[in-house]
C-alpha cells in the first residue's frame, strides 16, 4: 500500500516509483532524519526533508545566500522558481533518484515555504521510511497550505492507513478514511484514492462498499487496481459485479 504514494506521484504529478532502495535511516515526526546508526555516516542536511528540521535562515546558510539569490534571479519570481524545482523533484522521483528529488524539493521549500507541493514531494519521499510518521507530518503541512487538494488528501489518507496497518489504532483508520472520502469527493477521477478508500473499507469489514470503491477506481484508471486488495476481498466476498473471480 505504501507504494501507492509514489504511484500517485507518477499518475498525478505536477504531477505516490515503487519503494526501491529503502533507506536504513529512521525519520523524526517533523520529517527530519533521526541520528543514523553507528555503521552509517550521517546524511547531509540538504538530503534530509526540510534540511533535517532547520529554519529557512539556517538552510540558506547551507546553500549559500549568494547561490540562492543567483538561482532565484533566473526566474521571474521566487514562487516561479519554487514551482520549477518542485516539478524537477517529481521528475527525479520518476527516475528513482530520491536523494536528488529531496534536494530539489528542499530548494522549492526554501524559495517559497508556502509551496504545498514541496511538502507533498518530501512526504512522498519520506514514505519510504519504515514508519509513515514523517510522511504524515510533512503531508499535514502541505494540506494546511492546500486544503482542497485531492492528491494531498489521498496521499495523507493512504499514509494514515499504512500506520493503521502497523499500529491497529482506530483513530488512524478513521482519519485515513475521512481524508480519502474527501479526496474522492473533491476529485471523483482520483483512482488511487478510490483504491485506498476500498482498503480502508476492507479494514472495517464493509466488503460491499469496498468492492464499489474498487470499481469506481477501476473506471477512472485500470492501472490503479490493487490486486492484493482484490485477492483479500475475494476471500471475504465474491465481486458483486462478477468482474473479478
State pLDDT tens for residues 57-73: 999 999 999 999 999 99
pTM of the predicted structure, to 2 decimals: 0.84
State pLDDT tens for residues 184-197: 999 999 999 999 99
Assigned CATH topology for domain 1-16+44-148? 1.25.40
Mean pLDDT across the chain: 87
Extended strands (E) in the chain: none
Residues 6+ apart with CB under 8 A from 26: 33, 34, 129, 130, 131
Domain boundaries, the chain: 1-16+44-148
The pLDDT of 35-41, averaged and rounded, is 51
What pLDDT does residue 99 have?
95
Biggest CA-to-CA distance, the chain: 63
For residues 20 and 153, give the distance between their C-alpha atoms in angstroms, rounded to a whole number.
24
Burial 169-186 (b: 16+ CB within 10 A, else e): eeebbebbbebbbbbbeb
Amino acid at each position: 500500500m505504501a507504494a501507492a504514494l509514489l504511484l500517485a506521484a507518477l499518475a498525478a504529478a505536477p504531477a505516490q516509483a515503487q519503494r526501491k532502495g529503502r533507506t536504513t535511516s529512521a525519520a523524526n515526526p517533523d520529517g527530519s532524519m533521526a541520528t543514523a546508526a553507528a555503521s552509517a555516516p550521517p546524511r547531509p542536511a540538504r538530503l534530509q526533508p526540510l534540511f533535517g528540521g532547520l529554519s529557512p535562515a539556517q538552510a540558506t546558510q547551507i546553500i549559500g545566500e549568494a547561490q540562492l539569490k543567483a538561482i532565484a534571479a533566473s526566474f521571474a519570481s521566487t514562487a516561479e522558481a519554487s514551482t520549477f524545482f518542485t516539478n524537477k523533484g517529481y521528475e527525479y522521483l520518476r527516475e528513482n533518484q530520491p536523494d536528488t528529488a529531496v534536494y530539489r524539493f528542499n530548494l522549492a521549500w526554501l524559495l517559497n515555504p508556502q509551496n504545498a507541493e514541496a511538502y507533498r514531494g518530501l512526504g512522498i519521499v519520506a514514505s519510504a521510511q519504515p514508519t509513515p510518521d514523517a510522511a504524515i507530518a510533512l503531508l499535514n503541512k502541505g494540506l494546511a497550505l492546500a486544503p482542497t487538494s485531492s492528491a494531498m488528501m489521498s496521499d495523507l489518507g493512504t499514509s494514515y492507513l499504512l500506520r493503521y496497518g502497523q499500529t491497529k489504532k482506530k483513530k488512524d483508520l478513521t482519519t485515513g478514511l475521512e481524508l480519502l472520502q474527501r479526496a474522492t469527493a473533491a476529485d471523483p477521477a482520483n483512482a488511487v484514492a478510490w483504491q485506498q478508500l476500498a482498503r480502508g473499507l476492507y479494514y472495517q469489514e464493509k466488503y460491499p462498499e469496498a468492492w464499489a470503491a474498487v470499481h469506481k477506481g477501476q473506471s477512472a484508471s485500470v492501472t490503479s487496481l490493487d490486486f492484493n486488495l482484490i485477492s483479500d476481498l475475494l476471500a471475504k466476498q465474491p465481486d458483486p459485479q462478477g468482474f473479478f473471480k
